Chains A and B, each alone.
With several copies, the nearest count.
Chain A
Amino acid sequence: MDFGLSAEQVLFKKTLRRFFETECPTSRVRAIMESDSGHDPELWAKLVDLGVTGLIVPPEQGGSGLELLDLALAAEELGYAAAPGPFLGNALGTVALKEAGASGAPWLPRIASGEVLATVAIGEDESEWEPQRLKARVDSGRLRARKPFVPYAAQADLILVAAHDQEGPGLFAVERGARGVTIEPVSGVDMTRRVHRVAFEDTPAHRIAGPEALSRTIDAGLILVAADAYGGMRRCFEMALNYAKQREQFGQVIGAFQAVKHQLADLITEIEPALSLWWYAAHAFDHIADQCARHAALAKAHLTDLFDRVARDATELHGGIGFTWEYDLHLWFRRAMFDRSFLGDASYHRARAADLAGW
């Protein structure tokens, strides 16, 4: 019985932490955020070299053959650093291809090597994320769909699209430059993680996986978003705590005021146990399959709600400075707005968790 990180995992986290401190301080985050693409190929290449794209890819396909937990730890560190770029979409693409088995396998080496950047197109208009209710259709290898929020679609070499064909819901592969694909940028609240509005008109697409792989991919997404939220809230909390220890008012550090102390105590009281929830969900993905979907839903709902609260309370605790553009807090405030929204809102996943519990 061991519910903790391995020495390797701890080291991996440390490595990423140091990497982002040096390669992607918030000054760099802002530069990338304000660029047109919101994507820095150089930074991405370095992440590839660190093996981030191959984490869950089997060794025989050139990856490290690790588990979703390891991928989630990377997501946590990206969240802590507010690192911009296509990590999330590419990670979900990797999960999808892996779950697809034989038909996905050929792609995995190229994903691991960074030669191919993948992304997923799942949600549809009217905030629809329920596979059964998706409108995207594939007829004789031709895809018709409108997907409003596809991470870094413009940069992706491969888009894995959730759609229905005569066999029912599944995942369909669309390669870069395929016919009938139109990609428009969406100006998003979180400019560190871009999304594009993608329309597919009779686009050649071939089925690579069925409903099981699709829902596994969604579960993985929920867990990675929860991990990102945890990394982000940790950072917000640390900023607030340090500020409370330094900033003086009325002749004492504000952290000496009981109101501030108790607000910080209330936050850490929520944050600490929340970590264990997404850890468990991530561990379940590979080891306790029947528990995964429910815990992924609970973790996404709980962690993103909490991220939202922590980002807000941290900003309020900072007072005016926390509300400025120059101060970094809003980077995470905006990431919290992304995490709560992407893949469906908290109430939706609580309702799913209730169904999955058989209540």
Chain B
Amino acid sequence: MDLRYTPEYEDFRKEVQQFLAEHWTDEDIAAAPPPEDERAALMGASVRTDERATAFRLKAIERGYLYRHVPRAYGGGEQPPDPLKAAIIAEEFRKRKAPHEVIGQGPSMLVPTLLEHGTEAQKQRFIRDTILGKIVWCQGYSEPNAGSDLASLRTRGEVDGDFWVINGHKIWTSDAQRADWMFCLVRTERDAPKHEGISYILIDMKSPGITVRPLRQMTGTADFNEVFFDNVRVPVENTVGKRGQGWIVSRSTLKHERALIGASFMNRRMLDGVILLAQGVMLRGKPAIQDPVVRDRLAALEARLRAAECHELRLLTMSARREEPGVASMVTKLYSTQLGYQIAKLAMDILADRGLMAPGEPQAPAMGMFATAYMWSLGILIAGGTANIQRNIIAERGLELPRDPATQRR
């Protein structure tokens, strides 16, 4: 066990720092367009897709710092997997507020899928522009009556010559307004058994017959959409993988080094924010941070968060050693979403009656962002498939307990 990086890696770090110093100037940083919303603000420079950011990314890819899993032929950095280098790159880019890989479902979900199942033409056409953020993607999986249960998808496509004619209704699609394309699961084989009737189709969002309706959440803002398809015509060559194989195609998961790290990053930000809050506000007649009940709860959460952070180091090490993490990696999502909620709840308890104030209220501590965080912590929990789905996965895949007869039936 040694938390220091070996000289080789420290040299690599210097190299990265040097690269950043040269190619990502204070001027570039200053030129950041204002973030669209709180979440974008939290994610930092990675959301940038402006000229400067793109120019920089191209250089970084050239050097093999970004999209290391994507072949050069498709505009990637093409490097042998090295989680430690990936971690160093992520750290240094974050420190320097430099644009890391574009955040979005295109780079994180579509690209790995195309790499595994796409035709040469599809790869050539989409990957390069996607990883540079020039093509923005949205995901068309969820439907009003098919949440975690994709087998019951109803959006259907019929063949008409060289086209799919698609009708139906998708929900919970983020970025749908700004998205250029959607990767979508469509029921194409009417008579096939539930799971086999689905195809994975790429749909141009400018196609006639598509209506996007913003979906407002309980927080009051609209970060998701509903998308309606009315006889939308899509060339059959936009099918990824074989007809009816969409279920398997959609499962090509992110083989990405970065998948392993950073899950605790948001929770760390939150908890540090809560500590600042507790130091800043009064409670029951004295500074909240001096309240023994608050201190006890803060320390309990700090222990849970430190455990998660150290756990990420452990997972990173496993992957660097090419060891199978197994259940150790399956638990992180459930753990971190629950921890996020516990942190937000403590924030609300420290706010006490200041929690009456809505986000944006000028008089509220931190402009009431904790109230949003509190509601979001719930949304994130749900978005990640409800906790029960997570528990099923952990129990069945991680602990090899019998599968649920109901879910098995499908």
Contact = CB atoms under 8 A, between A and B. Distances in A.
Do chains A and B directly touch (beta carbons under 8 Å) in the complex?
A: yes
30 contacts: A1-B4, A1-B317, A4-B317, A130-B285, A186-B356, A248-B145, A252-B402, A253-B402, A256-B406, A268-B331, A269-B335, A272-B328, A273-B304, A273-B332, A276-B307, A298-B303, A301-B300, A302-B300, A302-B307, A319-B147, A320-B142, A320-B147, A323-B218, A330-B218, A342-B353, A347-B284, A350-B300, A351-B299, A354-B299, A359-B289
A359 B278 contact: yes
Nearest to A355: B295
Given A187-B358, A316-B382, A319-B382, A265 B398 contact: yes
B1 A250 contact: no
A224 B79 CA distance: 42
A20 interface: no
B273 interface: no
Given A323-B217, A342-B353, A316 B303 contact: no
B369 interface: no
Contacts of B145: 248
Interface string B150-169: 01100000000000000000
Given A262-B391, A347-B296, A3 B1 contact: yes
Given A315-B382, A341-B355, A264 B395 contact: yes
Interface string B122-134: 0000000000000
A240 B389 CA distance: 18
Contacts of B302: 298, 353, 357
B373 to A, nearest CB: 12
Contacts of A322: 382
A259 B285 CA distance: 43
Interface residues of B, number: 106
A275 B310 CA distance: 9
A333 interface: yes
Interface string B375-387: 1001101110011
Given A3-B316, A324-B215, A347 B391 contact: no
Given A130-B285, A268-B394, A188 B147 contact: no
A188 B357 contact: yes
B160 to A, nearest CB: 31
B172 A320 contact: yes
Nearest to A301: B303
Contacts, number: 299
Interface string A81-103: 00000000000000000000000
B353 A149 contact: yes
A268 B334 CA distance: 11
Contact of A259 (B142, B282, B382, B388): B388
Interface string B313-344: 11011101100000110011011000001000
A60 interface: no
Contacts of B398: 265, 268
Contact of A325 (B217, B314, B400): B217
Interface of A: 1-6, 69, 123, 126-130, 133, 148-149, 186-191, 195, 197, 241, 244-245, 248-253, 255-262, 264-266, 268-270, 272-277, 279-280, 283, 287-288, 295, 298-299, 301-302, 312, 315-317, 319-327, 329-330, 333-334, 337-338, 340-348, 350-351, 353-354, 357, 359
Interface in B74-100: 84, 87
Contacts of B307: 273-274, 276-277, 302
A262 B388 contact: yes
Nearest to A350: B299
B311 A276 contact: yes
A325 B281 contact: no
Given A1-B316, A359-B278, A340 B348 contact: yes
Contacts of B383: 320
Contacts of A342: 353, 356
List 9 tightest A-B contacts by C-beta distance, closest first.
A330-B218, A276-B310, A325-B216, A126-B282, A350-B299, A261-B395, A3-B313, A302-B303, A273-B311
Given A126-B281, A359-B298, 17 more contacts: A1-B2, A1-B316, A5-B1, A127-B282, A127-B352, A186-B356, A188-B356, A256-B401, A265-B334, A265-B395, A272-B311, A277-B310, A279-B314, A298-B302, A302-B303, A302-B307, A350-B299
Nearest to A328: B218
Contacts of A347: 284, 291, 293, 296, 349
A1 B87 contact: yes
Given A3-B3, A319-B147, A359-B289, A333 B375 contact: yes
Given A256-B401, A353-B302, A123 B382 contact: no
A253 to B, nearest CB: 7
B2 A2 contact: yes
